[in-house]
Amino acid sequence: MNILVDKEALLTVQESIQIGRQILQRKQLAYQTKIAQFETTHNMDTLTFSQLFNQGKLGDQKEWLKWDHYVNVINLLEQKISVLENLKYES
């Protein structure tokens, strides 16, 4: 899919995309901080947690559901950031 932007508007669009990417990165950092707290509290890394949780070995406590949600949000943010970083501009 191609999107056509008037040449005069291109700089504004690029700046808006940059701002959006920075916002997503700040959100990503906030969720990474929350995940680090879970890892410290439970003495378990997120990969191990995800494996155990997805295998049903941890149950469905609210805390586990939050941790899983944070992991999913980070994955989504990483995808969005990647899309924005890989945009190409042609004049």
Residue-level pLDDT at 9: 87
Torsion of CA 78, 42, 45, 36, to 10 degrees: 40
Instruction: Judge if pTM exceeds 0.75.
Output: yes
Return the domain boundaries, the chain.
20-83
Q: Select from 22, 34, 20, 38 the least CA-distant residue to 73.
A: 34
Rg, Å, the chain Cα set: 18
C-alpha dist (Å) from residue 59 to 5, 28, 50, 77: 50, 26, 12, 26
pLDDT tens digit sequence for 21-37: 999 999 999 999 999 99
